[in-house]
A and B are shown apart, each in its own frame.
Chain A
Amino acid sequence: MDSLWHASVIVLVLLFIGGSDANPAARRHSQLDVNHKKQPLQTFRPYNIAHRGSNGEIPEETAAAYLRAIDEGTDFIETDILASEDGHLICFHDVTLDNTTDIASRTEFAGRKRTYEVQGVNMTGWFTVDFTLRELKSLRVKQRFSFRDQQYNGKYNILTFDEFILIALHADRVVGIYPEIKNPIFINQHVKWSGGKKFEDKFVETLLKYGYKGKYMSEDWLMKPLFIQSFAPTSLIYISNITNAPKLLLIDETTVPTQDTNQSYYEITSNGYLAFIRKYVIGIGPWKDTIIPPENNHLGPATDLVARAHALNLQVHPYTFRNENSYLHFNFHQDPYAEYEYWLREIGVDALFTDFTGSLHKYLEWTAPHQNKEKKCRGPPA
């Protein structure tokens, strides 16, 4: 079963490479060819993280969205890892299939709608944990937002974690991966693995299988760059015993407590907590509107979160940066590049999660194409 999926994704990858904008004359090498020296990951300027792939243009977390992101110059492709009923790890953001697949039109699955509690709230829909991988593969992904391009709806299917990793490894330059241990409490409640393993174990196992290892900025890491992210601190602490790859603690809205430890935003952003979690993570990934809360769609006064994080040598990777004007505070006059400029030059964060990796890449290339003498210090190796 696995080899069939791998073969199909390789075919898909090759087909897409054929149609990409990249130089057709360039020979295609992959990280699997140890004799070939790929263009390395840039590390002199903030990281460009393709949030769910280039999902501003193509339905999120599909092969096409990731391949487009790589074409557009992203540093990292980002994904959310959930699980299927039969324990396969998949790339998918929501616990339910409703908003980004054609599940509602699949009469064969009509009877599988359920209501479950997810992070203290009842949700109704078709849950990924109630479908086998084969069933999930029969679905087709669609663009989540009505104001984005709908022309690819129904064309692509859901990827496995393995397939996602292979897309990164097959790129003809070094492209990092940024997977999230998503909704681990919920997943571990609904999906069981043999041998006493749980979701976090399977997650790391997959990474180790493909040779991802090494502390931040080590030689191993630079060859296969990786950040592991999660909103659940205990998941990150747990996996610290099985991988030394760099990890980031995601931080949600100020009203949302952590799903595993039930701690408030204020607790987990306190100096004491940041000093504690610094033993396990090299950075934090906050929602940008908590760093600088807006007032009437203008930026309010900035909090000191970035300064305090940096003082502890924690990187800051805020989410999410989107081009559409409904997401831009008026200070930026509806210009996503003004927002990049503000966050990267004024606030000085270390990376951005963006739905529009192509735009961010252009901004970075136009304003910081080369490393200059005074290298910006982004925090020590973990």
Chain B
Amino acid sequence: VRLTCVCVRACAGVVVAAALLVLGCASSGATARPLVGAAAAKQPLQTSRPYNIAHRGSNGELPEETAAAYMRAVDEGADFIEADIVATKDGHLVCFHDVTLDDTTDVADHKEFAARRRTLQVQWANVTGYFITDFTLAELKTLRVKQRWSFRDKSHDGTRISPIITFDEFIDIALNAKRVVGIYPEMKSPVFINQHVKWADGKKYEDKFIATLKKYGYGGKYMTKRWTERPVFIQSFAPTSLIYAADLTDSPKVFLIDDVTVRTEDTDQSYEEITSDEYLDYMREYVVGIGPWKDTVVPPTRDNTLTTPTDMVAMAHARGLQVHPYTYRNENRFLHYNFRQDPYAEYDYWLNDVGVDGLFTDFPASLRRFQDWTAAKN
């Protein structure tokens, strides 16, 4: 295990250095300077205002879940960097959102992998593509990540800035930051992963996930000294994974809640069921918060305006559960008209009117600016 640590750290160092180098070349114009002073001492995590969670890193600007996206998020003042953890064919944990490589990598350009395209069932739907669980880590490292959205900056696609990184490398980015930066990893698609990836020692995905965190010293209940030195939230849509993990670690966990039509991957429960009083009372034993899709908390009309908020936040807060909704994006197609195409108006509403405890955002720089500029007013 120790040898692995050293090796991984060295590799991570190379990844980080490469990212730094390319970031220096890639950024242009006066707006690329960091918002947080690079020479600052190791400043603690702020806990006095809602958390700024860099969803997949600063992926509004750089391809998601790459070292560059995470380092940009750290530069921009995020409180937490967030990642989705999935597994490779040979059992390595990597940061990647989709179970398929199609939308965010150049896998389609790699003729050597052409035969690997196939159809598998993922959460009761058939999905066709290149599945990450069919590739070894070494093979994945030959791919390049690209910006998912056509309307975002694609100038970094396919450059050396953007290989897929491992869970270890992600953690290293947080720990190497000049201030305390928390991590917010997700146990992603655990049912699918455990179906397709087997570990020689009989351990399963959740075991490997928690073991990685422990290896780097993550542990301790929310707001203990140990936790504030290495802040972490473990998130998942799968309640049984969270409950299982609760036996292995006392690190705080957050229960993610999908759209009203989506059932849980592991327990096949409906939205109504998992947001009921009884269920929240039950989950409260295992998690410190919930992470709902924002449009289920305050549903929009078909004309893209907000309707009356549901009582979800009140129900959660009454049980001492934090609420960290997802996802906040600057582009106007993601903004309801009440916010007049202004992402800061959306932050204002959610933080000050609805009163949630953290926001998953693709644009941590914008959220940081909003919070800093309005700090005096609050």
Residues of A within 8 A of B (CB): 54, 56-57, 147-151, 296-299, 323-326, 330-338, 341-342, 346, 356, 358-359, 362, 366-367
B57 CB, nearest partner CB in chain A, Å: 13
Question: Is A323 a contact partner of B363 (Cβ separation < 8 A)?
Answer: no
In the complex where A147-B333, A330-B153 touch, is A57 in contact with B340 (Cβ < 8 A)? yes
- Which of B29, B342, B344 is close to A299, meaning CB atoms less than 8 Å apart? B29
A69 CB, nearest partner CB in chain B, Å: 12
In the complex where A298-B28, A298-B29, A367-B373 touch, is A338 in contact with B366 (Cβ < 8 A)? yes
22 examples of A-B residue contacts, CB within 8 angstroms: A147-B332, A147-B333, A148-B337, A297-B153, A298-B155, A323-B332, A323-B342, A324-B332, A325-B151, A333-B31, A333-B61, A334-B60, A334-B152, A334-B330, A334-B363, A335-B369, A338-B366, A342-B31, A346-B30, A359-B345, A362-B345, A366-B373
Cβ proximity bits B60-75 to A, threshold 8 Å, 1 near / 0 not = 1100000000000000
Cβ proximity bits B166-210 to A, threshold 8 Å, 1 near / 0 not = 000000000000000000000000000000000000000000000
Closest to B374 in A: A366
- Which of B31, B333, B341, B342 is close to A332, meaning CB atoms less than 8 Å apart? B31
Q: Chain A residues near B29 (CB, 8 Å)?
A: 298-299, 331
Residue B32 CB within 8 A of the other chain: yes
Among B58, B61, B330, B333, chain A packs the most CB atoms within 10 A around the CB of B330
Residue B291 CB within 8 A of the other chain: no
Question: Is B155 a contact partner of A330 (Cβ separation < 8 A)?
Answer: yes
Instruction: Name 8 extra pairs, CB < 8 A, besides A333-B363, A338-B366.
Output: A149-B304, A330-B155, A331-B28, A333-B366, A334-B331, A358-B340, A359-B344, A362-B345
Which residues from 229 to 262 on chain B have a C-beta closer than 8 Å to any C-beta of chain A? none
Question: Is A335 a contact partner of B340 (Cβ separation < 8 A)?
Answer: no
Among B304, B342, B343, B374, chain A packs the most CB atoms within 10 A around the CB of B342
- A325 CA to B305 CA in the complex, in Å? 19
- A358 CA to B340 CA in the complex, in Å? 9
Closest to B338 in A: A149
Q: Chain B residues near A333 (CB, 8 Å)?
A: 31, 58, 60-61, 153, 330, 363, 365-366
Closest to A58 in B: B340
- Which of A326, A337, A358 is close to B366, meaning CB atoms less than 8 Å apart? A337
Smallest CB-CB A-B distances: 8 pairs: A366-B373, A334-B330, A323-B341, A149-B337, A330-B153, A325-B331, A324-B332, A331-B29
Which residues from 1 to 47 on chain B have a C-beta closer than 8 Å to any C-beta of chain A? 28-32
Residue B311 CB within 8 A of the other chain: no
B109 CB, nearest partner CB in chain A, Å: 21
Q: Chain B residues near A323 (CB, 8 Å)?
A: 332, 340-342
B351 CB, nearest partner CB in chain A, Å: 14
A298 CB, nearest partner CB in chain B, Å: 6
Question: Is A335 a contact partner of B343 (Cβ separation < 8 A)?
Answer: yes
Closest to B337 in A: A149
Question: Is B332 a contact partner of A335 (Cβ separation < 8 A)?
Answer: no
- A344 CA to B61 CA in the complex, in Å? 22
Closest to B304 in A: A149
Q: Chain A residues near B28 (CB, 8 Å)?
A: 298-299, 331
- Which of B30, B303, B342, B373 is close to A356, meaning CB atoms less than 8 Å apart? B342
Question: Is B30 a contact partner of A336 (Cβ separation < 8 A)?
Answer: no
Which residues from 132 to 155 on chain B have a C-beta closer than 8 Å to any C-beta of chain A? 151-153, 155
Q: Chain A residues near B305 (CB, 8 Å)?
A: 149, 151
Q: Chain A residues near B332 (CB, 8 Å)?
A: 147, 323-325
Cβ proximity bits B273-305 to A, threshold 8 Å, 1 near / 0 not = 000000000000000000000000000000111
B69 CB, nearest partner CB in chain A, Å: 12
B224 CB, nearest partner CB in chain A, Å: 35
Question: Is B344 a contact partner of A362 (Cβ separation < 8 A)?
Answer: yes
